[in-house]
Amino acid sequence: MTTPKFAQIKQFIVDKISSATWQENQRVPSENELSNQFSVSRMTARRALSELTEAGILTRSQGLGTFVASFKSQSSLLEIKNIADEVKERNGNYSCTVLALESLPAITSIAIALGIKVNSTVYRSVLLHNENTKPLQIEERFVNPTFATQYLQQNFTLLTPHEYLSNVAPLTQATHTVEAIMPNKQMCQWLNLSSQEPCLQLIRRTWSSNGIVSYARLVSPGSKYRLGGHLTFKNNN
């Protein structure tokens, strides 16, 4: 099967970033430049850039262009916490339901997010985190087996993926994208939502010192979950 042109452009850009040919904050070719280089329409080039921007790999600035996103940790804005610890801090009773734990070939979007080749083996887990037996958050995570060879052998009712990965591939960097979404039918069933209410979706990629470890999507009902942070500003006086 022939790889679609927009996917070829995405892989080209990711390869340039993964090989360090293009550095953080470096400007990438424009829609016009990519459309000429790959002999495609501007719409096709725009789709490639837009999807990479949505994945947090690129960032776009109106009037300036598209740039390689910074992969520095955003913990000063959004602290990465273990959800089990969050529940316990509220004196809640944490539990987890494992919905899926499997090995599968990486589709294009996942391969790009993890910086690996399309159809490479990845590990996938889908967990339902509960507080006081009530559904709190769906976690779908894709993991690069290179950094967590025993991922599929873990009992995630006893420890979270965050805990396990922090031990075998200590977190050094992370990116986050947060948005409001409407859940699909499956999400409503898992989260026990009687009707479709807005949910909070967090897309997170994490790095260890040797590369991208995981790509996760965390979805929580808007009425049950919130994100917060604390900023400290230096006094220049």
For residue 86, which phi and psi values (nearest 5 degrees)? Answer: -60, -45
CA distances from 117 to 2, 8, 28, 108, 216 (A): 15, 12, 21, 8, 18
Cα gap 52→28, rounded to integer Å: 12
Confidence of residue 230 (pLDDT cuts 50, 70, 90): very low
Instruction: Report the DSSP beta bridge partners of residue 185.
Output: none
Looking at mean pLDDT, say which of 78-82, 106-110, 199-203, 212-216 comes out highest: 212-216
Cα gap 208→170, rounded to integer Å: 6
What pLDDT, in 10s, does the model give residues 158-181? Answer: 999 999 999 999 888 888 888 888
What pLDDT, in 10s, does the model give residues 123-170? Answer: 999 999 999 999 999 999 999 999 999 999 999 999 999 999 999 998
Tell if the pTM clears 0.85, that is, is over it: no
**In the predicted model, is pLDDT for residue 91 greater than 70?**
yes
Confidence of residue 236 (pLDDT cuts 50, 70, 90): very low
**In the predicted model, is pLDDT for residue 82 greater than 90?**
no
Domains and CATH numbers, the chain: 5-68 (1.10.10.10), 83-221 (3.40.1410.10)
Give the chain's mean pLDDT.
85
> 111: which 2 tokens?
């391969």
